[in-house]
Amino acid sequence: MPGEFIRKIKRIYMHLKLSREIKIGVAVIVTLAASYWGVNFLKGIDIFSTSRKIYAVYPRVNGLMRSNPVMINGLNVGKVSDIIFKNDTSKMLVVEMSITHDLPIPKNSVAQIYNADLLGSKAVEIILGNSKEYVKNQDTILSGSKASLEDEVSRQVLPLKAKAESLMGSFDTLLIVISKVMNEKTRDNLIKSFASIRNTIKHLEVTSSTIDTIVTTQKGRMSEIITNIDLISRNIRNNNQQITNAINNVSKMTDTLAAVHLSQTIISTQRALQNFEQISEKINKGKGSLGMLINNDTLYNQLEGSSRNLNLLLQDMKAHPSKYVHFSVFGKREKSK
């Protein structure tokens, strides 16, 4: 575009054959115009292009500068044309973006500052929204900031750092405990323990060797035993029905014996109850010695009188013992009183 403009000026200059002064004036104007275009081109501003100006407000721009690219889905659609403070009293920054692409941008789109490369160069990415209304020239859209690689690394590394520090502290504590526990006495005990373990392993080796020898020498007998067990199990399997019948017969026999004993016991009990009832009936009627003893008062009265007379006799013997017992040291008998 600038080259075409210069060619047109040259044609006009050649056709008109202007005077020297006019030639100098035209040259100065062309030089100034080219300088103005060059300066703006170096600033990232194309004065001959038709672009839309859109704005976004940020609390901080994180190193964003003029001429940084504006991207949409990885496509460069413009540049950052200016960054200014919103006003003298505000700390908010207004970023002006020149959009040279005619792609429609929804109004709820977000202009997000991010790291364009690993060196930290910044760029603005417009994340398209889903609104049916589109951004016009001089409109302001939403703003945002994407975490940098350093921030992401810090966010991932800080928990690992804290865990590593905690692990180192625990490791130091473990070393201190081990240094306290592993004194000379403990080392001697460990050496003795390892020696005992070694001896135990040797004994186990000897024992396993003995067992191998026994198994080798008795291999034939073990084979015979296994064969016999197999024959027994085979016979049991072949005679399973007969064994089942025998068990059923034994079960029936025990049931029959239990039933016979129970019936005999019930009959004997009934007979004993009947005999006891007859005996109690005879006792109540006064038959027999026990019945007469229970139902006749004569024997009781006689026993009571005998007991009373015996008591009187014992009292008299106690009061007058010489009346019943006579003795003398010299064998002389006393006269009876």
Q: What angle (nearest 5°) sits at the alpha carbon of residue 315, between those of residues 313 and 319? A: 115
pLDDT at 16: 56
Length of the chain counted residue by residue: 337
* Residue 293 neighbours by CB under 8 Å, 6+ apart: 299
Q: What is the pLDDT of residue 57?
A: 92
Going by C-alpha positions, the residue among 64, 77, 153 that lies closest to residue 112 is 64
Distance CA 109, CA 131 (A): 8
Classify 55 as helix, strand or coil: strand
Token pair in block for residue 4: 């075409």
- pLDDT score recorded for residue 163: 80
Q: Edge-to-edge strands of the sheet including 139-140?
A: 139-140, 52-58, 93-99, 75-85, 69-72, 122-127, 110-115, 142-145
47 phi/psi in degrees, rounded to 5: -75, -15
> What is the chain's pLDDT, residue by residue, as a tens digit (337 residues)?
556 666 766 666 665 555 666 667 777 888 887 787 777 666 655 555 567 899 999 988 888 888 899 999 888 998 898 888 888 777 889 999 988 888 889 989 999 888 887 777 889 999 998 988 998 888 889 988 776 556 666 666 677 777 888 878 787 787 777 776 666 777 777 777 888 888 888 888 888 888 878 777 777 777 778 888 888 888 887 877 877 887 887 777 777 766 655 667 777 777 878 777 777 777 777 666 666 666 666 766 777 778 888 888 888 877 877 776 655 545 555 554 4
Per-residue pLDDT at 94: 92
Angle at 318 between CA 317 and CA 322, to 5 degrees: 60
Give the three-class secondary structure for 102.
Answer: coil
Q: How far apart are CA 220 and CA 228, in angstroms?
A: 12
Which two structure tokens, joined as six digits, stand for 103? 């792609």
β-pairing, 52-58 vs 139-140, is parallel
Contact 134, 107 (CB under 8 A): yes
Rounded CA-CA distance 160/281 in Å is 104
Q: Is the pTM of this model over 0.85?
A: no
Query: How high is the pLDDT of residue 195?
Result: 83
pLDDT of residue 13: 60
